[in-house]
Chains A and B, each alone.
Chain A
Amino acid sequence: MEATIRRWVKSLIIFAVLLGLLYFLIAIGDLVKLMIISAILAYVLDPLVTMIEANGLNRTPATAILFSVMTLFFALIMILLLPVISSEIVSISRSIDPEKAQAAFAQLESFLAGFTAFLGVPDLNLTTTLVDMVVQYGNDIFGNLLSVVSLFTNLVLIPFIAFFLLKDGRTIKKYLVSLVPNRYFELTCNLLYKMDIQLGNYIRGQVIDASIIGLLSILALSLLQVQNAILIGTVAGIANVIPYIGPICGAVIAIVLSLLETGDMGLVLYIAIAFIIVQLLDNVVVQPTVVAKNVNLPPLLVLLVVIIGGKFFGILGMLLSVPLTAVLKVFLVEGYTTYKQYNFS
């Protein structure tokens, strides 16, 4: 009886501590976001640092060399792409012609009404809802996106934290392991190793996948002569990180923007086909090659965590919620499997 009470009290304390920790993490949300993005960056760059190390350099100079090259590379990309993207953002907000958009959505609504009539949905009210929303909040969305990333501070802080995580990652790991009691020492080492492999593969796979999808989308949209192809393609690539929902969001953004700008319904069909082809390529060729299959998440869970992530941390929260859930899944599954293999009686 006493043992049961003790176990209950212990569980309650652990639960309270976890709840407190969650509250604390939400309270310092911005810092958590920074740490997560830095950790992802460190994970993506780790194999490159290891490759440089294999040529006889120590960890610190290897990391420094990689960061110097990366800084130059990004500076070059910024110089080349930033003016294009910012002019695309400006052109989107300028080119939105409410009248043209209204006409286009009226056309789209009548097109969709044919399909929805038999479902007993008489009026979709697409025009009023979407046009109002997009025209009123269009600028805010991009404003939020930029403010969430807090461009200048974060552009310095993220690489800075990632640099130290890369350089001192092993020392940090060694220190954390040294805190683990002897009994769980081997289990911890084993678990960390397995998690590291799975997470590394998953995160690197996702980044490569998003980059390829972004490039393919830019290519497809450019071929269709869609204005702002680079911006829309980039958004589509990033959105692709969220399974099931992301690709649809990418396509919808592209369609809505091109409708607002051109009002051409024919283009909508081509854009939809282009995105379907890109998604087919993603599912058949890219994902099986680069993304680790063992971190698959069920669709309902993805939907839930994206909603929760969005609720607490906005757009960035939606993007990070899926990789974080994957981290948690790997931790729980590997933790349980590894724990079961050990005899702790």
Chain B
Amino acid sequence: MDSFWGNIFRQKDEEAEGIRNILKKIPIFEGLRRKELAAVERILYRREYKAGEIVLNQGDPAAGMYIIEKGKVQVVFEPTQQVIAELYDGDFFGELALMDESPRSATVVARLDCKMLGFFQSDLLDLIERNPRLGVKIVMRLLSVIGERLKKSNDQVQALQIKLYNMKQRRKTPAGDE
């Protein structure tokens, strides 16, 4: 009997430890202490998706972010069905939803059987109330991740603007002048 309960608890502990190891590598939870990671682990939702199953739909209200524990997903832009990104074990998506509830900007489909961890805005807000120190740490990391993405997007926009400008200049210049 002891070994039965012992097995169950050991399994739970191992699972929790595994999740904490994944969390450590996510930039949003970088630098958190073991106890803090355990607090985050407790509020995560563990979900399993079959290959081909839709994880979230473009246009649906955003509620939180997902971390891929195991598997592969594709991020698809609906109108063109263009695959924007493919994400694997340890990757995460939907982190903007932790800041606001604006609709999802793309659809995410599981391409392999997936195990995911859902981290929701409501739970983050609750965590901020219960443990402000940890909440602020996560929010600061989240801001820095979003800030980095914004910088990257700005760089891309600038590069595209330069490209566009050059194209316009080339059009203006008559072919004979070259």
Contact = CB atoms under 8 A, between A and B. Distances in A.
Contact of B132 (A54, A174, A189, A192): A54
Given A170-B43, A178-B45, A185-B47, A342 B60 contact: yes
Contacts of A193: 63, 120-122
Interface string A304-315: 000000000000
Contacts of B64: 186, 189
Interface string B41-61: 011011101000111110111
Interface in B53-94: 53-57, 59-61, 63-64
A111 B108 CA distance: 75
A174 B47 CA distance: 11
B60 A343 contact: yes
A60 interface: no
Interface residues on B, range: 20 to 34
B153 interface: no
A65 B45 CA distance: 29
A190 interface: yes
Given A53-B130, A177-B45, A182-B47, A189 B53 contact: no
Given A190-B61, A341-B61, A174 B45 contact: yes
Contacts of B126: 50
A182 B49 contact: yes
A54 B49 contact: no
Interface string A327-345: 0000000000010011100
A3 B129 CA distance: 49
Given A338-B61, A341-B61, A343-B57, A54 B46 contact: no
Most buried by A among B45, B46, B59: B45
Contact of B129 (A54, A178, A182, A341): A54
Contact of A185 (B45, B59, B130, B131): B45
B61 A342 contact: yes
Contact of A50 (B49, B57, B63, B129): B129
Interface string A172-194: 00100110001101100110110
Contacts of A177: 45
A182 B53 contact: yes
A186 B108 CA distance: 13
Given A53-B130, A177-B45, A189 B60 contact: no
Interface in A85-124: none
A189 B122 contact: yes
B93 to A, nearest CB: 13
Given A185-B47, A185-B118, A186-B56, A54 B61 contact: no
Interface string A139-181: 0000000000000000000000000000000100010011000
Contact of A343 (B59, B129, B132): B59
A338 B60 CA distance: 10
Given A190-B63, A342-B60, A53 B43 contact: no
A183 to B, nearest CB: 8
Contacts of B129: 50, 54
10 contacts: A54-B132, A183-B54, A186-B56, A186-B60, A190-B61, A193-B63, A193-B122, A341-B60, A342-B61, A343-B59
Interface of B: 42-43, 45-47, 49, 53-57, 59-61, 63-64, 118, 120-122, 126, 129-132
Given A50-B130, A182-B53, 18 more contacts: A50-B126, A50-B129, A54-B131, A54-B132, A177-B45, A178-B46, A183-B54, A185-B47, A186-B60, A186-B63, A186-B64, A189-B63, A189-B64, A189-B120, A189-B122, A193-B122, A341-B60, A343-B57
